[in-house]
Amino acid sequence: MDIKIESSWKEHLKDEFEKPYFTDLTSFVNAEYSTQMIYPPEKLIFNAFEKCPFDKIKVVILGQDPYHEPGQAHGLCFSVPDGVSQPPSLQNVFKEIKNDLDIPIPKSGNLERWAEQGVFLLNATLTVRAHQAGSHQKKGWETFTDNVIRMLSDSGEHLVFLLWGAYAQRKGELINANKHLVLSSVHPSPLSAHRGFFGNHQFSKTNEYLFAYWKEPIKW
């Protein structure tokens, strides 16, 4: 597995990479890339970390799995590369941003511009087999990303965690809500967005919180 990771993250995670579970996870992932079609491309597994240095993080958005269809996954949850059609959940995210902040819906679903402003776009599982949602769950990735969330909660100051859907909300037990802002809602999926994602105003609430703690708001 190509552990290409930004230097501040490498320093924080160096002990994690030495743990037995991660050694086992690496062996599993290497075997999968050797024998199956796996997303994202191997060089982009840690793209969320690469694009958003540890000490620059202001906001954490938690996803579950990478996209599992060709050309979609590039290591940032909810995001797709330029030129790729926006998946329905991402379309609904942009609709809520327009509703909340009156920002026009962009043509591209590439969220690298968010990551570069300090939005950490973390999937709980960082790899997946083509066309098989959830196929790399319970192989060790969740242990790794749970420890990342704990690390951010412990070391970060006044971060915003956006937890969309039941899976992400369960990660709330890893976060110290006394020192961070935790905003939960239903998932932006078309199956649930109308039950509370639309109208949650989490993007303006995030920026109001950041501003209150002397942090530059996100240009959503």
Active site residues: 65
d(CA 126, CA 33) in angstroms, rounded, equals 13
Contact 40, 75 (CB under 8 A): yes
b (16+ CB within 10 A) / e for 13-22: beeeeeeeeb
Q: What stretch of H or E contains 94? A: helix 88-101
Question: In angstroms, how far is CA 165 from the centroid of its own chain?
Answer: 13
Alpha carbon distance 87, 184 (integer Å): 21
Element (H, E) at 212: helix 202-212
